[in-house]
Structure 1
Amino acid sequence: MAAGWFAGEGDDFRLLGTRCSACASVFFPREDHHCRNPDCAGGELAPTPLSRRGRIWSFTDSRYRPPSPYVTDPELSWEPCAFIAVELEAERMVVLGQAAPGITVKDLAVGLEVEVVPGVLHEDAETTWTTWYWRPTGVTA
């Protein structure tokens, strides 16, 4: 889990970005040191929850086992997955993420509405690595 990147559970689950108090620019991943807007002299950066929904801007099928630091168990078979670029509803910014388990490129189309949901990237006896997934609205786990 990337600390501070998301919070909540169920319908309260949100990605967390930061908003500049001077220019209102929103950033994800979060920015804690300075405003990344080149036209802004800078202001305080405050955590801000991002839209739960957006529309697919682009997507692709991933057919290879990703390299480190992505956590996969080399002893287990690796399942291909879809990656989705989503334009967030209110912020009008694009955020990348993996499709929820069971969702393939056959289930996706540019412009389709999706929502962010919590997920488990990997777990072992000591640690559970959490993440976010994109899932078409109206689809339940």
Structure 2
Amino acid sequence: MTRTRRPVVAGWFTEDTAPGAEFRLLGTRCTACTSVFFPRVDDDCRNPGCPGGGELVEVPLSPRGRIWSYTDGRYRPPAPYVSDPDAPWKPYVLVAVELAAEAMVVLGQAAPGVSTADLSVGAEVEVVPGVLNEDDHHVWTTWNWRPVARREREGRS
């Protein structure tokens, strides 16, 4: 059975998986005050200092940023989180990344195989496509953060 790729949240990132396509998070920018929002805002600008009247337009966010903070999750979260209690728990790494051009911090999981030992505050990372979960019918896609130096080392091997 072929499983359908589905974004965990539609409209938060590009979905083109063709070779050479650049994966990006998608935000919105207010044309009146130039504030950028992620997750995207589709109704009114949330900047209290905005003069108002600006249209919100979709913008791709910077593909790279610097680690602002990170931590690991070594326990199964309590309810209402849902997971198979019979499946082994897999620890994960959360990374908060500062996107300087947008003046914001975006949270996401580290790419598979990246541990806290691979990270340091201030290190450069890039956003890459990821998989949050798979079931019988779908592959639920998301984004991950991957150290830039790691990618460049792997590309040379």
- Answer whether TM exceeds 0.5 for this pair: yes
- Residue identity in the other structure for 1:117: V
Deviation at 1:70?
5.6
The offset of 1:60, in angstroms, is 0.8
Question: Max radius of gyration: which structure?
Answer: 2
Distance apart, 1:100 and its partner CA: 0.6
Return the TM-score normalized by structure 2: 0.82
**What is the match of residue 103 of structure 2?**
92
Does 2:56 match 1:45? yes
Residue identity opposite 2:12 in structure 1: W
5 Å-filtered alignment, 1:66-105, equals 66-67=77-78, 72-105=83-116
Task: Please state whether the residue corresponding to 1:129 is helix, strand or coil.
Answer: strand
Give the superposed CA RMSD.
1.9
* One-letter identity of the residue aligned with 1:19: R
> How far has the Cα of 1:125 moved from its partner?
1.3
- C-alpha contact (below 8 Å) 1:53/1:89 kept by paired residues: no
Secondary structure of the corresponding residue to residue 119 of structure 1: strand
Partner in structure 2 of residue 33 of structure 1: 43
Q: In the alignment, is the contact (CA less than 8 A) between 1:20 and 1:42 conserved in 2?
A: no
Does the C-alpha gap of structure 1 residues 109 and 48 become closer, same or farther in structure 2, counting only changes over 3 Å? same
> Structure 1 vs Structure 2: percent identity of aligned residues?
65
Instruction: Note the residue ranges of structure 1 that are not aligned, 5 or more in a row.
Output: none
1:68 is displaced (CA, Å) by 6.3
Aligned length: 141
Tell me, in whole angstroms, the C-alpha distance in 2 between the residues paired with 1:63 and 1:45.
39
Listed one character per residue, the Cα deviations across residues 11-39 of structure 1 (whole Å, up to 9, x for unaligned) are 50000000001001000000000101001
Deviation at 1:128, TM superposition (A): 1.4
Q: Which moved more, 1:6-15 or 1:41-50?
A: 6-15
| Correspondence for 1:6 among 13, 17, 20 | 13
Per-residue CA deviations over 1:32-61 (Å, capped at 9, x if unaligned) read 001010011241101100000000001111
Identify the residue that residue 128 of structure 2 maps to in structure 1. 117
Q: Which moved further from structure 2: 121-130 or 60-69? A: 60-69
- Structure 2 regions of 5+ residues with no counterpart? 1-7
Q: Which deviates further from its counterpart, 41-50 or 1-10?
A: 1-10
- So what's the TM-score if we normalise by structure 1? 0.91
CA spacing shift, 1:118–1:69, aligned 2, 3 Å: farther
How much does 1:75 deviate? 2.9
Partners of 1:64 and 1:14 in 2: CA distance: 30
Q: Structure 1 residues 112 and 77, CA, compared in 2 at 3 Å: closer, same or farther?
A: same
Paired amino acid for 2:135 = D
